[in-house]
Amino acid sequence: MATTAPDSRGDCLQIFRGTFIHSTDTSPLEILESRIVAVNKLGKIVFIEPADKEEELSQKWHFKREKIRKLCPREEFFMPGLIDTHIHAPQYPNMGCCLDLPLLQWLIKYTFPVEARFKDLKFAEDVYTKVVKKTLRNGTTTACYFATIHTESCLKLCDIIDKFGQRAFVGKVCMDMNDVCTEYRETTSESVKETERFVAELVKRKYPLVKPIVTPRFAISCTPGLMKQLGSFANANNLHIQSHISESRAEIAAVKKMFPKCKNYSDVYDVHSLLNDKTIMAHAVYLSDEELELFQRKGAGISHCPNSNTSLCSGLMDVRNALNHKINVGLGTDVSGGYSPSILDAVRRATDVSNILSLNTADYQKLSHEEVFRLATLGGSKALGLEKVTGNFEVGKDFDAVLVNTGVPGSPFEVFHEDTLQAIFQKFLFLGDDRNMTEIYVAGKQVFPCPTA
Ligand SMILES: [Zn+2]
């Protein structure tokens, strides 16, 4: 139990009474009915108690009972904010189109050209404002963004994220090897120097929720010299690392050709000091058991991006196998390889992929919707090393939360009298959308509806 601190006096608390739905290590879906949750001025949860202790709590914490925000039973509940562990903010203009080619051709024809436009700061500001507003509106309280090679527009993205109040990692993309789009390439020394400048500038801004992440794009677009220097820089400064791994068969073949001395794709990152407990790798569709064991030993996380993997026909990732290897797995939209900005969509696509995998393997243990919900929240926080801060409702964690209302006008699904809370929640996961998300909080601050939006 937290003790009363100056920031936790009753008049400084936000207090909610109602149903809270989240995941824990031991339970993928825990429904906490009739609870009172208090959040202090710092945005941290100070207690979660049964509602029948309301009077006792009001005396202990010195708050007036009329101050309590009461949720409508059955119609409203809080769930943790959703966590997008892999999204390319500059690809947002292409979201929902340009999906007719496999990964490597798709990069050349559509993706490098749109990313090259981010040297224009005005263009960057317009797109980045839209993507941050859109993801927040869809309940993404934490996002792990790839930006582009352009330091100034990367910093602009950080400014916008801070302004709208999202929690995020932002990576200045590094790539010094790319023959197809000369406009979109750096020298090795530029790439390292600009990464250092980006990190220094972002740290100077002292944004409480926006942190840098070292971002070699992927092994194909980075020389060994660049990867080595980025690995050293990240390790020396205790920074997070993100990249892509084992997304498509053609990509894996290219990596094999370029790094013949490495045992496998994971080994390429490992020998360049890029695989550790602060690393998150997107896709991991074709990792062997040997590679998964390496991930587990190193503590590296995986971002599963099912919409992207099916839209670009990259492959079907076996999340169950990764979980069996005790790896932290979160969900990613991978906009714009994935065509939806919503982690609820990722929940549905991840369920589909798991169901499809079960068709070919006898006794395959499919992911339940409860487990996929855990990937979208607590799993994502662990994959990003943020589990002490966000991911579920626990005393001491930040209050990152979405207020869901199943009874809003135009709700995309119906609730019937006989529906249990479990059924209502499943309907929301499979059928709900931003219309049902009536309030969104990050670190205790309401970011939607937002007066500055
Ligand atoms: Zn990606």
Cα 449 → chain centroid: 21
Q: Which has the minimum average pLDDT: 31-35, 183-187, 228-232, 239-243? A: 183-187
Extended beta strands in 1-109, E state: 14-22, 30-39, 45-50, 69-70, 76-80, 82-88
Mean pLDDT of 294-299: 98
Domain ranges of the chain: 10-80+395-448, 82-383
Residue 205 above 80 pLDDT? yes
* Model pLDDT for residues 260-290, shown as the tens digit of each residue: 999 999 999 999 999 999 999 999 999 999 9
Extended beta strands in 319-363, E state: 329-331
Distance 209 CA to ligand 1 centre (A): 22
Q: What's the whole-model pTM score?
A: 0.97
According to CATH, the superfamily of the domain at 82-383 is: Metal-dependent hydrolases (3.20.20.140)
Name the residue type at position 376. A
Distance 390 CA to ligand 1 centre (A): 23
Distance 159 CA to ligand 1 centre (A): 22
Max Cα–Cα distance, the chain, nearest Å? 69
Distance 223 CA to ligand 1 centre (A): 19
Q: What is the pLDDT of residue 3?
A: 42
Query: Of the CATH numbers 1.20.1530.20, 3.40.190.10, 3.30.565.10, 2.30.40.10, which one belongs to the domain with range 10-80+395-448?
Result: 2.30.40.10
Residue 234 CA to residue 211 CA, distance in Å, equals 13
Tokens encoding 15 = 């207090």
Residue 401 CA to residue 449 CA, distance in Å, equals 13
pLDDT band of residue 366 (cuts 50, 70, 90) is: very high
> Which residues have a beta carbon within 5 Å of ligand 1, which is an ion?
282, 334
Tokens encoding 306 = 């099912």
Please provide the average confidence, as pLDDT, over all residues in the chain: 95
Find out whether the peptide bond into 336 is cis, omega within 30 degrees of 0. yes
φ, ψ dihedrals at 298, nearest 5°: -80, -15
Buried b (16+ CB within 10 A) or exposed e, 200-211: eebeeeebebbb
